[in-house]
């Protein structure tokens, strides 16, 4: 389901990831463990798209996703949470959950504002 091959990432002179490879099988829960500074967050950021690897490839199923803009990754089933939650204090619990709803295909402000039947159906 997720295949990481030879991924490397440097910050200036600091190598955060050096030739990382592993894969996750569908239906299994996979944990990534390591001490502080091991590169876990950097790898998660490469998978979610906040960072682009310097080398290597990331596949989601058959699709190569390194280089794909982050906002197009949720429709492939990729989403992430953060150690520090960022909630919208003025929204209700339900509205906060809806704000994180995975968009299907390219998200569109116009479609959301028009509240087309497909959008209403998804929210329901």
Ligand X SMILES: Nc1ncnc2c1ncn2[C@@H]1O[C@H](COP(=O)(O)OP(=O)(O)O)[C@@H](O)[C@H]1O
Contacting Mg ion (CB under 5 A), which of 8, 24, 41, 72? 41
**Residue 80: C-alpha distances to residues 2, 28, 45, 101 (Å):** 14, 17, 9, 12
DSSP H helical ranges for the chain: 40-48, 93-99, 109-114, 117-123
Contacts to ligand X from residues 7-26, by CB under 6 A: 11, 14, 16
Q: If you ran DSSP here, which 8-state letter would residue 31 be given?
A: -
Tally Cβ neighbours within 10 Å of residue 42: 19
Residue 42 binds ligand X (CB under 6 A): yes
Residue 100 binds ligand X (CB under 6 A): no
Residue 46 binds ligand X (CB under 6 A): no
Contacting ligand X (CB under 6 A), which of 6, 37, 61, 77? 37
Positions in the binding site for ligand X (CB under 6 A) = 11, 14, 16, 34, 36-42
């Amino acid at each position: 389901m997720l295949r990481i091959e030879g991924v490397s990432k440097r910050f200036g002179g600091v190598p955060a990831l050096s030739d990382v490879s592993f894969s996750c099988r569908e239906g299994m829960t996979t944990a990534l463990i390591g001490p502080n500074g091991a590169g876990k967050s950097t790898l998660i950021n490469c998978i979610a798209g906040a960072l682009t690897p310097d080398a290597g490839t990331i596949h989601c199923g058959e699709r190569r996703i390194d280089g794909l803009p982050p906002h197009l990754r949720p429709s492939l089933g990729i989403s992430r949470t953060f150690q520090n939650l960022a909630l919208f204090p003025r929204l209700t619990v339900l509205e906060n959950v809806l704000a994180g709803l995975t968009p299907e295909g390219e998200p569109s402000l116009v479609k959301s504002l028009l509240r087309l039947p497909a959008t209403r159906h998804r929210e329901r």
